[in-house]
Chains A and B, each alone.
Chain A
Amino acid sequence: MSEDDERATDLSGGGIVSSNRTRCCGGSVASDCPSQFPDQVLENVLENVLLFLTSRRERNTVSLVCKSWYRLEKQTRSELFIGNCYAVSPRRAIERFQKILSLVLKGKPRFADFNLVPLNWGAHFTPWVTAMAEAYPWLEKVYLKRMSVTDEDLALLAQSFPGFKELVLVCCDGFGTSGLALVASKCRQLRVLDLIDDDVMDDEVDWISCFPETGTCLESLIFDCVECPVNFDALEQLVARSSSLRKLRLNRHVSIGQLHRLMVQAPQLTHLGTGSFSSAGDPAQGDQELDLISDFAASKSLICLSGFRDILLDYLPAIHPVCANLTSLNFSYASINAEQLKPVICHCHKLQTFWVLDSVCDEGLQAVAATCKDLRELRVFPMNPSEDSDSPVSEVGLLAISEGCRQLRSILYFCQQMTNAAVVAMSKNCPDLVVFRLCIMGRHLPDHLTGQPMDEGFGAIVMNCNKLTRLAVSGLLTDKAFSYIGKYGKLVRTLSVAFAGDGDMGLRYVLEGCPKLQKLEIRDSPFGDSALFSGLHHYYKMRFLWMSSCQLSRSGCKEIAQRMPRLVVEVIRDRVEEEMDDAVEKLYMYPSLEGPRDDAPKFVTIL
């Protein structure tokens, strides 16, 4: 699910604006707008039309037309999207929308992924599931991102929604295999159980055995992040009795021999995560030659391949039969070099999404550029994620990609050295870029050839890529880079800044210049209170602002809180014992209809 398909406004945006500012055209007093048709007919027509309207931005717009449209819209909305779980309370959401079938709920700020948010900060699923258990008994789908979910929450979910079909948990924690067992056994209509990048506790419960024995509705089972071994025999039987299964992503405890057995059971898969792709820890494997290539040849529908956690290189050629059909390939856990990549990638003409480790070097990226002409999304991760490592990818690889993959929409690129020239080239070669995230791992590093700051490169990106909505910057950057972003980044919704800028002006350029800015996360940059004040006109339209290790003071943040009553201003300390001096180490603020939350831990102070 791509973040950047999201619409700009979410629930709180729709809720804060009052609905009586436009004249009502469909109401009972029709003297202002005489109509040939009775109101009831108009309402029925609208209601039927609204059933087809799924985009939440469009629905929010509809709800602002007049009171009766607002009423009809809320009666027909079936998917509830809440981008910040603290922006609105479960009770308020339930009061407005009574027929919700699907919930999308997002919690912690993204920097929590990098250990910048202390444990137990919040984003608890409990109040939501408790409220919905009563209000939405027909709930079918729940998608959670960065939420704290307990086994008790999962137990309640499993027993409260008889028609429950889809559970997707992304970057969540707080639950274990016990909770999974309950979902597997009680959600008899379950079609989708996707666990992506979660921290799942090992309770030594055999959850795989808990699925219904008489055949399942499972279409998607993703558990590659689950770190504990699963009962393989049970898994094999599960796959055998799940005839609708299309997506299966195994964890690293599944050996290549076991993969073979599963592929034999499920040649209809469209998405496969291979697990370890090695024989380590599998006594049954021995020296047997696996006929894996036949398994792949039989998988005629396979379009998305991932896994390869402990890749046995000898078996890599087995995937050749599917390469020509692949639209998505994730090698980001496989340490392969350029020579090992080339024989695979040269067949992947249809590839649109490619995730890889920098172990493939610039040379590997050149091979990608030569073949994957339809590439839309590229992510290059570092094998050695530290500032001082030698990175085998550089501006050479970036340039090659920009020249070969003109359809690129989204890039995430980790490297140790970069030049403005390569970034400028990419801005011109790939004008359709929507997401540009460049991480030069050494802090404050300039263009390594010219010694100049990276201002011009990022400037070119915002200037030339007119559809850009998400930007992450790095390297040595002055306020000039931010002036470019403010001047040209008119569609930018998400901006990530680290170790950049000269002073307050940098942040001011962005807050004053980017009207669509929704999510701003900043760390270790010299922005202070006066920069923060320059954004007062905009904060109510944002989802959140995160600033850590900047130059904010408590008194400044307090004044913001006083001037903006519907903004929740959280000051987060790393340890409760830390002295509460005037410097603010971590600021997290967001508009909310509810005021200060009542579940804030001791190390959070709400101003």
Chain B
Amino acid sequence: MEGAVAYESDLNLKATELRLGLPGSNESEKQTLLSVKSNKRASPEMAEECRSKSNSSISDAGNDGREAAPAAKAQVVGWPPIRSYRKNSFQTRKKDEETTGIYVKVSMDGAPYLRKIDIKVYKGYPELLKALEEMFKFTIGKYSEREGYNGSEYEPTYEDKDGDWMLVGDVPWDMFMSSCKRMRIMKGSEARGLGCTV
């Protein structure tokens, strides 16, 4: 009796577990991208298995069809074929309730338009910088703690909670995410001044 109760509460825990991601997905998207390659090779064989099983006995076939298909059923990129816009429409509702993005304005010296980006979607500085490069069509130099950005005339800077202008990359990523209010991609000598605030 007690055993049964414990079993049930285990199930309940699993059911109420808070996770980000679509129901049924057990892997992070990054893993999924890698697993797609292996799924691809496996799928013709899977199809074979499905068919041979379904040929053998009709009554079992329905279930076998499901079982024989990749057990992981990890979310495959672009399947089912629903546009991201539509998928996001439902997720945005959940997003509004659970987690909101961290939107900051980004301006670049010399560019007529500002952009607004959600820094929460980036996992770290390299991704963020790459996205900025693509967005504003320029290249950032290599970053070093001592010298700032070497190799181009642009330096990404940000304004933190205290109103100070800092060089992007000086603080750990998490700290940056929580303190960044807005960003400015500076051009030329003005930027170099920031790098030398030791």
Q: A residues within 8 Å of B by Cβ? A: 111, 113-116, 119-120, 151, 171, 176, 178, 197, 199, 201-205, 225, 309-310, 332-333, 381-389, 414, 439, 441-446, 448-453, 476, 478, 496, 498-499, 502-503, 523-524, 526, 549, 574, 585
Q: How far is the CA of A333 from the CA of B66 in the complex (A)?
A: 30
Q: Inside 8 A of A439's CB, which chain B residues have their CB?
A: 80-81
B65, B66, B84, B113: the one within 8 Å of A203 (CB): B113
Q: Is A385 in contact with B80, judged by CB distance below 8 angstroms?
A: yes
A442, A496, A524: the one within 8 Å of B66 (CB): A442
Shortest CB distance A529–B (Å): 15
Q: How far is the CA of A388 from the CA of B66 in the complex (A)?
A: 10
Q: Is B85 in contact with A549, judged by CB distance below 8 angstroms?
A: no
Nearest B residue to A412, CB-CB: B81
A113, A203, A310, A478: the one within 8 Å of B116 (CB): A203
- 13 extra interface residue pairs, beta carbon distance < 8 Å, beyond A444-B68, A476-B47: A111-B78, A197-B83, A333-B89, A387-B75, A389-B23, A442-B69, A444-B47, A446-B61, A451-B58, A476-B65, A478-B51, A496-B81, A526-B47
Shortest CB distance B20–A (Å): 14
Residue of B24, B105, B134 most packed against chain A (CB within 10 A): B24
A204-B114, A524-B43 in contact; A445/B82 too (CB < 8 A)? no
Q: How far is the CA of A115 from the CA of B78 in the complex (A)?
A: 6
Q: Is B80 in contact with A414, judged by CB distance below 8 angstroms?
A: yes
Q: Inside 8 A of B85's CB, which chain A residues have their CB?
A: 197, 199, 225
* Complex A-B, nearest 5 residue pairs according to Cβ-Cβ distance, in ascending order: A451-B61, A388-B24, A114-B78, A526-B44, A549-B40
A-B contact pairs, 6 of them (CB 8 A): A384-B22, A388-B23, A443-B79, A448-B62, A451-B61, A496-B81
Total cross-chain contacts (CB, 8 A): 144
Shortest CB distance A157–B (Å): 16
Chain B, interface SS category: helix
Q: Is B80 in contact with A451, judged by CB distance below 8 angstroms?
A: no
Q: Inside 8 A of A449's CB, which chain B residues have their CB?
A: 62
Q: Mark B58-78, 1 if CB is under 8 A from A, else 0.
A: 101110111011100101111
Q: Inside 8 A of A114's CB, which chain B residues have their CB?
A: 77-79, 81-84
Shortest CB distance B85–A (Å): 6
Q: Is B50 in contact with A450, judged by CB distance below 8 angstroms?
A: no
Shortest CB distance B61–A (Å): 2
Q: Inside 8 A of A176's CB, which chain B residues have their CB?
A: 113, 115
Q: Is B43 in contact with A443, judged by CB distance below 8 angstroms?
A: yes
B23, B43, B65, B86: the one within 8 Å of A445 (CB): B65
Q: Is A201 in contact with B51, judged by CB distance below 8 angstroms?
A: no
Q: Inside 8 A of B115's CB, which chain A residues have their CB?
A: 176, 201, 203
Q: Inside 8 A of B65's CB, which chain A residues have their CB?
A: 444-446, 448, 451, 476
A116, A204, A381, A382: the one within 8 Å of B105 (CB): A204
Q: How far is the CA of A441 from the CA of B79 in the complex (A)?
A: 8
A388-B23, A448-B62 in contact; A476/B51 too (CB < 8 A)? yes
Q: How far is the CA of A120 from the CA of B87 in the complex (A)?
A: 22
A388-B24, A441-B80 in contact; A381/B46 too (CB < 8 A)? no
Q: Inside 8 A of B77's CB, which chain A residues have their CB?
A: 114-116
A389-B23, A549-B40 in contact; A502/B116 too (CB < 8 A)? no
A178, A203, A476, A503: the one within 8 Å of B50 (CB): A476
Q: How far is the CA of A439 from the CA of B73 in the complex (A)?
A: 17
A201-B116, A388-B24, A442-B69 in contact; A452/B78 too (CB < 8 A)? no
Q: Is B58 in contact with A450, judged by CB distance below 8 angstroms?
A: yes
Shortest CB distance B157–A (Å): 20
Q: How far is the CA of A405 from the CA of B36 in the complex (A)?
A: 39
Q: Is B79 in contact with A498, judged by CB distance below 8 angstroms?
A: yes
Q: Inside 8 A of B105's CB, which chain A residues have their CB?
A: 204
Q: Is B116 in contact with A385, judged by CB distance below 8 angstroms?
A: no
Shortest CB distance B107–A (Å): 10
Q: Inside 8 A of B22's CB, which chain A residues have their CB?
A: 384-386
Q: Mark B76-117, 1 if CB is under 8 A from A, else 0.
A: 111111111111011001000000000001000000111110
Q: Inside 8 A of B81's CB, which chain A residues have their CB?
A: 113-114, 439, 496, 498
Q: Is B40 in contact with A524, judged by CB distance below 8 angstroms?
A: yes
Q: Is B40 in contact with A385, judged by CB distance below 8 angstroms?
A: no
Shortest CB distance B30–A (Å): 12
The answer to the question of B179 belonging to the interface, with a C-beta cut-off of 8 Å to chain A, is no
Shortest CB distance B92–A (Å): 8
Q: How far is the CA of A591 from the CA of B73 in the complex (A)?
A: 37
The answer to the question of B54 belonging to the interface, with a C-beta cut-off of 8 Å to chain A, is yes
Q: How far is the CA of A36 from the CA of B64 in the complex (A)?
A: 78
B37, B79, B83, B134: the one within 8 Å of A120 (CB): B134
The answer to the question of B139 belonging to the interface, with a C-beta cut-off of 8 Å to chain A, is no
Q: Inside 8 A of A151's CB, which chain B residues have their CB?
A: 113
Q: How far is the CA of A333 from the CA of B91 in the complex (A)?
A: 12
Q: How far is the CA of A332 from the CA of B115 in the complex (A)?
A: 30
Q: How far is the CA of A574 from the CA of B66 in the complex (A)?
A: 30
The answer to the question of B25 belonging to the interface, with a C-beta cut-off of 8 Å to chain A, is yes
A120-B134, A201-B116, A446-B50 in contact; A382/B40 too (CB < 8 A)? no
Q: Inside 8 A of B93's CB, which chain A residues have their CB?
A: 310
Q: Is A204 in contact with B116, judged by CB distance below 8 angstroms?
A: yes
Residue of A197, A386, A450 most packed against chain B (CB within 10 A): A386
Q: Is A382 in contact with B43, judged by CB distance below 8 angstroms?
A: no
Q: How far is the CA of A472 from the CA of B178 in the complex (A)?
A: 46
Residue of B43, B54, B62, B113 most packed against chain A (CB within 10 A): B113
Nearest B residue to A527, CB-CB: B44
Shortest CB distance A33–B (Å): 54
Q: Inside 8 A of A119's CB, which chain B residues have their CB?
A: 134
Q: How far is the CA of A501 from the CA of B116 in the complex (A)?
A: 45
